[in-house]
């Protein structure tokens, strides 16, 4: 497995692969990899001749007072896990390599103004911009994203459709710890007490999955799930929302495929989780 830091060197390698008509799977990440990323890499390995992993902490998706400098980094550890998952090359550029003079942005407006987009208004513009740049650099056959970041996945899918990008987007199910907590690089921020408290997100989701089957207005479902979270003293709710699974817009009635998504602070650490629901399934 190679680790490449420049766009030119990566393009030279990709040119060879394309000449051999290899299919290319691409997994974009911000590094500090865990088993959730491992599931993405393994899916890419299964589906493609070659696998490219990017490790890049993208500055344009962090707002003021967010954790850009504190975001965990461990390229050596990332390389070890990536190699075990069959990755062929890691692309690990510097911010200067990716952004010479950042004046152009990609913004999928309607899907970005709910859920995480409310409290992180520049986040998805930064995500869409860097993903577009990475897609232009790698030009993969397929790209893999985790369903934990469900709004991001929906936005990327719409971006690819709207901009006619010839890439298949593959969503990979959430990977959870034994107690249900969704795997996340930010879990490392949690103290032992906070780590235990964080299981309240999954408990709320379990209650939500049961209650949604009974048929109820979205607002009632949200109230039920909030009451579960509020029983945990260390938890502070950013949002719990029921949105249309495709448009990410808030719904009042659960009469179509929906995403039930949440962001909750455990201490100072913001965690996200979700589940999807379709009537009759």
Question: What residues are labeled active site?
Answer: 37
Strands 24-29 and 50-55: parallel
CB 23 within 8 A of CB 85: no
Pull the structure tokens for residue 86.
């069959």
Pull the structure tokens for residue 88.
């062929």
Rg (alpha carbons) of the chain, rounded to whole number: 19
Closest alpha carbon to 133 in 95, 86, 78: 95
* Greatest extent of the chain over all pairs of C-alpha atoms, in Å: 58
Residue with tokens 């964080």: 198
Q: How many Å apart are CA 202 and CA 27, to the nearest integer?
A: 26
CB 161 within 8 A of CB 252: no
Distance of CA 196 to the CA centre of its chain: 23
| Eight-state DSSP code of residue 182 | B
Q: Which helix (H) or strand (E) holds 90?
A: strand 89-91
């Amino acid at each position: 497995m190679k680790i490449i830091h420049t766009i030119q060197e990566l393009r030279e390698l990709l040119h060879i692969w394309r000449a051999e008509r290899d299919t290319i799977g691409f997994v974009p990440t911000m590094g500090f990899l865990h088993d959730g990323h491992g599931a993405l890499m393994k899916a890419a390995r299964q589906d493609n001749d070659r696998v490219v992993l990017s490790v890049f902490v993208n500055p344009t998706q962090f707002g003021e007072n967010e954790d850009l400098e504190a975001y965990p980094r461990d390229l050596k550890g990332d390389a070890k896990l990536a190699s075990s998952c069959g990755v062929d090359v890691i692309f690990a550029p510097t911010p200067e390599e990716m952004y010479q003079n950042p004046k152009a942005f990609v913004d999928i407006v309607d899907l970005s103004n709910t859920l995480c987009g409310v409290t992180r208004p520049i986040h998805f513009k930064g995500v869409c911009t860097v993903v577009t740049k990475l897609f232009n650099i790698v030009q993969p056959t397929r790209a893999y994203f985790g369903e934990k970041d469900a709004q991001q996945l929906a936005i990327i899918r719409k971006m690819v459709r709207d901009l006619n990008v010839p890439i298949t987007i593959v969503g990979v199910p959430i990977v959870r710890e034994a107690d249900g907590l969704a795997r996340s690089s930010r879990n490392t921020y949690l103290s032992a007490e906070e780590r235990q408290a964080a299981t309240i997100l999954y408990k709320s989701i379990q209650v939500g999955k049961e209650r949604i089957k009974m048929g109820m207005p979205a607002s009632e479902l949200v109230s039920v799930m909030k009451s579960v979270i509020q029983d945990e003293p260390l938890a502070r709710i950013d949002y719990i929302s029921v949105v249309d699974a495709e448009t990410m817009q808030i719904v009042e009635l659960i009469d179509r495929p929906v995403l039930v998504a949440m962001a909750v602070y455990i201490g100072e650490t913001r965690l996200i989780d979700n589940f999807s629901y379709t009537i009759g399934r």
